[in-house]
Amino acid sequence: MQTPAGKPLPWKKRSLNEIDRIIVHHRGGPGTLDGIHKYYQKNRGWAGIPYHFAVTSTASGVKAYQLNDLSSSTWHARNSNRRSIGILVDGWYDAQWWDGGVYRLVKGKDSTVGDGKLGKLDELITHLSREWELQQKIKLEVLAHKDVTKGTGCPGIFLSDWCRSRP
């Protein structure tokens, strides 16, 4: 959706007290955050990358970046956009096997769970949850993208299980 001048439409604003969930996504293919941002602008006509945060590896380690203001109702999870915070985790989380109570990643693709991203994701979710409970008096539910949008496997088996296992 674009304006008549071909400019991407800005995200709609929302009240922070409408937010009651965090939805976790994965980047299941190649690309940088800047490339993903440009893709959504060019191919979808959106304001840009639709997630509020991204967890990704950099030359100086794993980082969490805020990509959109939390008052922006971005389009990252059909039927849950207005009430959720979207977090993108860099990597592909479907290539693993079960080994006595723990997931082990299959080598290949971009299977990068063991590189600190889950720790940074947990840190970000814990921070957001604490702040929300203090400021908004709302307990945030953590869900996988596929829990709220039929027809997607995002964020993969491993990351979906991780979301469900959080206290």
Q: How far is CA 128 from CA 20, 45, 61, 124, 134, in A?
A: 11, 29, 21, 6, 10
Domain boundaries, the chain: 18-165
Give the alpha-carbon dihedral of 141, 144, 147, 152, to 10 degrees.
160
What is the overall mean pLDDT for the chain? 83
Q: How far apart are CA 51 and CA 87, in angstroms?
A: 6
Q: Which residues pair with 142 in a beta bridge?
A: 22
Q: 2-52 pLDDT, tens per residue?
A: 334 455 667 999 999 999 999 999 987 667 888 888 888 889 888 899 999
Nearest alpha carbon to residue 165 among 130, 121, 134, 132? 121
Q: 65-88 pLDDT, tens per residue?
A: 999 999 999 999 988 999 999 999
Instruction: Let me know: does 47 contact 41? Beta carbons within 8 Å.
Output: yes
Q: How far apart are CA 9 and CA 34, in angstroms?
A: 18
Give the residue-averaged pLDDT of 90-111.
54
Tell me what pLDDT residue 131 has. Answer: 94
- Phi and psi at 36, nearest 5°, equal -65, -45
Q: Provide the CA 120 distance to its chain's centre, in angstroms.
A: 13
pTM of the full predicted structure?
0.85
Domain 18-165 has CATH 3.30.70.1730: no
